[in-house]
Amino acid sequence: VKELVDNFMLIFRALLSNSLFPELQSAIGVGSAFEGWSPHEDVIYCVLVPMKPPRWHSFHLELCNAGAMQARNFCIRVEQECTCMREQLVGDMLCFLHHPEEELRRNQNTSLLRTLCTGSYLDVHKTARWFHQLVKAAWAALPQVTNCRLKMMPFNRSCKFQVTQADQKRLIIEIMSGVQQGDSDIFVTSQSTEAIFTPSTVWTESCAVAEVKFFSHMTRQAPSDTSHLKCLQLYSRILVGTGFSDYTFKTVVMHLLTTIPLSSWSRREFVMRLQDIMCYLRSCLEEKRLDHFFFGNENVPKEIILPPAFQTAKPLNLFQRLAQDPDMHAKALHEFNELQDR
């Protein structure tokens, strides 16, 4: 998958050279498949493609909601920069900002604002359609085209496609786009939200890159027989049909990996660590509190770069709904007991 996506990126950059579309950075594999614990056979390989503004443009992140930090949404405002000085000195172009009509007519097919924006804001759906078109245009030039088949899938907030290899093995790949927050490992992305309706100019704050970086860091530090990924894989399989999410267990395991020595996650202690995970979750359910791993947590490895707002934030409760809804809390405790039986 990494080789295929890297080839796509090379061709994307060739197709977009000298255009005024976003500059595409190297793709980053995120999610359980790249963290090493995917429980499913038909896994979706999710990659994030960071975007930087093209020449003479800038991106500005604007917070859309003032709600809980774990659900923060942003709009990405696109601004044109003044190039009057270049116009006077070089004379090879008109200033976008002060001669917009003439310049846009010259560049109507390669204009970021005309193609990927709604008003002055980057549009998630238009960006997904753009990636959809790029994948189709680039496929014929890929080395894999001789022994693989491409099938484009319906898109909404991200671009999805299926590649069938000669041995009939299928790979489903999802391309998300995003903008980095400063120089941190936190991005504003096209990732789907839990909301029933999300406006097309709204982008979701995501810790996916920080999470895959965390598991990579732990794998490098841990002995070769460490079983923390097997713990996650097992629990993800038995979670089916319950109200618990993979993310809840991933958060629990991340907390335990920074409090229980990595040498204690060996295969011979596998059952003990499974019990530790359940004990930690039970305690969180009883207290109606599970802290988000990256907010106000001093145990986050220094290799992971967080925005200042994350570092100084108060611990964030992922079980806030359980604290507010007694019926939901009772149901969660009941499902926990069923999970323990499994």
Task: Flag whether pLDDT at 151 surpasses 50.
Answer: yes
Asked whether 135 and 8 are in contact (CB, 8 A), the reply is: yes
CATH number belonging to domain 222-341: 1.10.1410.40
Nearest of 80, 296, 74 to residue 187 by alpha carbon: 74
pLDDT attached to residue 70? 55
pLDDT attached to residue 68? 47
Tokens of 26: 């190297």
pLDDT attached to residue 196? 63
- What fold, for 1-207? Beta Polymerase; domain 2 (3.30.460)
CA 131 – CA 190 distance, rounded (Å): 12
Task: Flag whether pLDDT at 226 surpasses 50.
Answer: yes
How buried is 295 (Cβ within 10 angstroms: 0-12 exposed, 13-18 middle, 19+ buried)?
Answer: buried
Strand 44-52 with 170-180, pairing: parallel
Per-residue pLDDT tens over the stretch 234-291: 999 888 888 899 999 999 999 999 999 999 999 999 999 999 999 999 999 999 999 9
Kindly state the average pLDDT of the residues 180-206: 89
Per-residue pLDDT tens over the stretch 57-107: 999 999 987 544 456 899 999 998 876 765 555 555 666 665 655 554 455
Any idea where the domains of the chain sit in the sequence? 1-207, 222-341
Neighbours of 215 (CB within 10 A): 21
pLDDT attached to residue 240? 83
Residue 74, C-beta contacts closer than 8 angstroms, at least 6 positions apart: 61, 62, 63, 64, 188, 202, 203, 204, 205
pLDDT attached to residue 93? 61
pLDDT attached to residue 242? 87
CA 118 – CA 177 distance, rounded (Å): 16
Tokens of 73: 């949404």
